Amino acid sequence: MNHTPVEGFSKMSKEGKIEWLVNEYLNGSEQAIQTLKQYWNEDLELQRLHDEFSENTLSNFYMPFGFAPNFLIDGELMCIPMAIEESSVVAAASKAAKFWIDRGGFKTQVLSKVKLGHVHFMFEGDKEKLDRFFLETLLAKLFKDTDPITKNMQARGGGILNLKLVDKTSEIENYYQIHAEFDTVDSMGANFINSCLEQFAQTLKREVYESDVFTNEEKESLQIVMCILSNFTPECIVRAEVSCKVEDLAEGNVSSEEFIEKFTRAVRIAEVEPYRATTHNKGIMNGVDAVVIATGNDFRAVEACAHAYASKDGRYSSLTHCEVKEGVFRFWLDLPIALGTVGGLTSLHPLVKLALQVLGSPNAEKLMGIVAVAGLAQNFAALRSLVTTGIQQGHMKMHLMNILNQLEATDEERAYFVNYFKDKTVSHHAVIDEFCRLRGVNSVEELKKN
């Protein structure tokens, strides 16, 4: 089907946008209009708040908002909010939390908290002159000109930590950077960092133009390419770990030695094998993203950074590691993660506010630890299942409800199926067969007709 471009979509009313969308892409379906509208909130103020988070909002997109209790983190008992659609994640987190609560719980440590940004620019001229100019003239001006922007941040204990000129000309001809390091305290700090960087660019241009150390050609060669924070923050890093005596890992009929051997082998494989590392880290991010979203932070930034960090040694590798030393098993995650607990969605979205409240209104450092714990717990739970029972047993039990929802099962039928699969392996096929038997039909097609 051919579609026509639309003019001024963002300026249309919400109803107008829906009408256009449904006519253009959904065959004018009344049902589609209903589907969009059924998620509107009756509370108009609340709906307006959500509409204004983004542009062209037509409805609200629900996501399960769950809680994983019993997390002992640095001696404090916490209940972790998680926004995630994948059915087994919250259950796995809760299971791992319960496992470690009796074994000393989780420990966290913020290793460093530096955020980064760059002015990328081109300069065709004498490198040494530029170097000297940067140190002797420009540096002080860069700090001074950003004073009005950094004042509040400084009052909160943060600001610009360090500025460097970086010569990148061996990679791209005439390419340099002002590499800037920041402490944004409890805010994610994106606007603050980008504002500082744009001011640096203006100051750089002005100072080069006004100086008498550069030739006219050199002055004219200066071009600002872009000013932007970097989502790769290898120096904004938190460690979450668990440890216990080797013998405390025994469970059921699996001895601690057997468990450690299998578990360690799985971690080693993820350390050396990118195919496995990607899935291994995806499992970590199941936990990380769920808390990042629930607390109103930017999960795309967190994802990008985690995967860049996982490749920092030239090969994509595991973010978690483990060891056994002097009879103690230790399992840890080093996660580079830039988070905020003030600003952005944190003070606007009612559920984000609630999530932060449940976590005891943490500062950014504490939240970094909590998020890393969620990632480590998730990885522990996944590896534990993978090397013992396999993952499908637990996954399919959780997936059962999704299948039953697709089949539009009644409450009685759901209860029946939970009981039915107590001692059986759930598979899509097995659910359908039993469902058809229960309803007295031969196939799903027949079910749909009834």
**Strand ranges inside 85-196, DSSP E:** 107-113, 115-122, 159-167, 175-183
Alpha carbon distances (Å) from 58 to 32, 41, 352: 12, 12, 21
Residue 449 annotated among the catalytic residues of the structure: no
Q: Which stretch binds ligand MEV (CB under 6 A): 116-124, 180-188, 244-252, 279-287?
A: 279-287
Instruction: DSSP letter for 251, please.
Output: B
**Residue 86 contacts ligand MEV per CB under 6 A:** yes
**Residue 391 contacts ligand MEV per CB under 6 A:** yes
DSSP labels, 295-307 = TT--HHHHHHHHH
Smallest gap from Cβ 190 to ligand MEV, in A, equals 28
Candidate residues 50, 280, 366, 384; the one interacting with ligand MEV per rule CB under 6 A: 280
Residue 144 annotated among the catalytic residues of the structure: no
Location of structure tokens 């080069």: 208
Candidate residues 382, 404, 407, 409; the one interacting with ligand MEV per rule CB under 6 A: 382
Contacts with 247 (C-beta within 8 Å, 6 or more apart), sequence order: 256, 327
Candidate residues 56, 152, 223, 279; the one interacting with ligand MEV per rule CB under 6 A: 279
Please identify, using beta-carbon distances, which residue of 304 and 391 lies nearer to ligand MEV.
391
Check 107, 168, 179, 282 and give the catalytic one. Answer: 282
Smallest gap from Cβ 281 to ligand MEV, in A, equals 8
Q: How many other CB atoms sit within 10 Å of the CB of residue 309?
A: 20
**Residue 286 contacts ligand MEV per CB under 6 A:** yes
Phi, psi of 312 (to 5 degrees): -60, -25
Please identify, using beta-carbon distances, which residue of 296 and 394 lies nearer to ligand MEV.
394
| Total number of residues that touch ligand MEV (CB under 6 A) | 9
Smallest gap from Cβ 421 to ligand MEV, in A, equals 20
Helix axes 299-310, 274-294, angle to 10 degrees: 150
Residue 282 annotated among the catalytic residues of the structure: yes
Please identify, using beta-carbon distances, which residue of 92 and 196 lies nearer to ligand MEV.
92
Smallest gap from Cβ 255 to ligand MEV, in A, equals 23
Please identify, using beta-carbon distances, which residue of 310 and 356 lies nearer to ligand MEV.
310
Q: How far apart are the first and last CA of the chain?
A: 33
Smallest gap from Cβ 91 to ligand MEV, in A, equals 12
* Pick from 137, 154, 136: nearest CA to 196: 154
Alpha carbon distances (Å) from 88 to 69, 392, 401, 420, 428: 15, 10, 11, 19, 16
Residue 298 annotated among the catalytic residues of the structure: yes
Location of structure tokens 């984000």: 352
Smallest gap from Cβ 288 to ligand MEV, in A, equals 12
Check 14, 307, 395, 397 and give the catalytic one. Answer: 395
Q: Which stretch binds ligand MEV (CB under 6 A): 102-110, 275-283, 295-303, 431-439?
A: 275-283
Query: What would the two tokens of residue 13 be?
Result: 């009313």
d(CA 379, CA 332): 10
Sites of contact with ligand MEV (CB under 6 A): 86, 279-280, 282-283, 286, 382, 386, 391
Residues known to be catalytic: 86, 282, 298, 395
